[in-house]
Amino acid sequence: MHSCGQCGNCFSCLCRMSYHLNTHTDMYKCTECGRCFQSRQALAVHERIHSGEKPFECSVCSRRFARAGRLATHSRIHSGDKPYKCHMCDKAFSRSADRNIHMRVHTGDKPYKCHLCDKVFSQSGHLNSHMKVHTGDKPYKCHMCDKVFSHTGHLNDHTRVHTGDKPYKCHLCDKVFSQSGNLNSHMRVHTGDKPYKCHLCDKVFSQSGHLNDHTRVHTGDKPYKCHMCDKAFSQSGSLNSHKRVHTREKPIQVFTT
């Protein structure tokens, strides 16, 4: 190993270290920001940041890039090529960075920590989103009803209330949904999957909401209160049925032939 006397970086061969030494000289120095680079080529690539030059164009969608490597990565969107494979679950990715992030699912690594509540996250984007809980920042505004949201995804989901758009379709029964989460919950009707387990009696449920309703059997919690007589109920359906005592509304009857 060969060590740089100025910064301590180590290299396996002298030629690589000689390239590196150029970063400590003014041989390949950017005239705009003063950064130094190891070669003329590296400097030329860097200078595109300042000039805005993007010489590499995608032949499919005409997007342009400053670096050939970024064009190659982008092209996998069109080709579907996923050369970076997880060796633990066989999932594949078009970018090595995406694979590295995915590996934290297996390792449990969560390097991004909130300095306000000590919650930890596996991705920097998740931490940034979480910080809005503390700041109360809601920069995304619906142009139809002026509701505001902290995340673009929440705004997109909300907008479908106005448009009626239901882009998520079940491939087994053709039901459609406005949100992907609702489709995922619906799929359990077909698969029979019940991932939500009560830790008090081991009953299992297909939806988290059903588990929450069930848990009140054990806790005795009755959060649904009648504003006319102050009776309380553990489930919203029971409250709705009770209200008919006051309104004298008859329940809807379904007749079959």
pLDDT in tens, 168-215: 899 899 899 988 888 888 998 899 888 888 888 989 988 888 888 898
Domain residue spans in the chain? 2-53, 61-137
DSSP symbols for 160-206 = HHHH----EE-TTT--EESSHHHHHHHHHHHH----EE-TTT--EES
Q: What is the per-residue pLDDT for 257?
A: 42
More confident residue, 225 or 249: 225
Q: What is the per-residue pLDDT for 247?
A: 80
Q: What is the per-residue pLDDT for 85?
A: 92
Q: What is the per-residue pLDDT for 253?
A: 54
Q: Is the pLDDT of residue 41 over 50?
A: yes
Reported pTM: 0.41
Task: Tell me what the pLDDT averaged over the chain comes to.
Answer: 87
Q: What is the per-residue pLDDT for 58?
A: 92
Distance CA 188, CA 205 (A): 10
Q: What is the mean pLDDT of residues 78-101?
A: 89
Q: Is the pLDDT of residue 254 over 50?
A: no
Q: What is the mean pLDDT of residues 40-62?
A: 91
Q: Are 117 and 134 in contact (CB under 8 A)?
A: yes
More confident residue, 257 or 64: 64
Q: What is the per-residue pLDDT for 162?
A: 92
Distance CA 178, CA 183 (A): 8
- Region 2-53: CATH code: 3.30.160.60
CATH number belonging to the domain at 61-137, selected among 3.40.50.2300, 3.30.160.60, 3.30.9.10, 3.30.428.10:
3.30.160.60
Structure token pair of residue 40 = 């003329």
Q: Is the pLDDT of residue 138 over 60?
A: yes
More confident residue, 125 or 85: 85
Q: What is the per-residue pLDDT for 256?
A: 45
Q: Is the pLDDT of residue 71 over 50?
A: yes
Q: What is the per-residue pLDDT for 239?
A: 87
Q: Is the pLDDT of residue 245 over 50?
A: yes
Q: What is the mean pLDDT of residues 145-156?
A: 86
Distance CA 131, CA 230 (A): 38
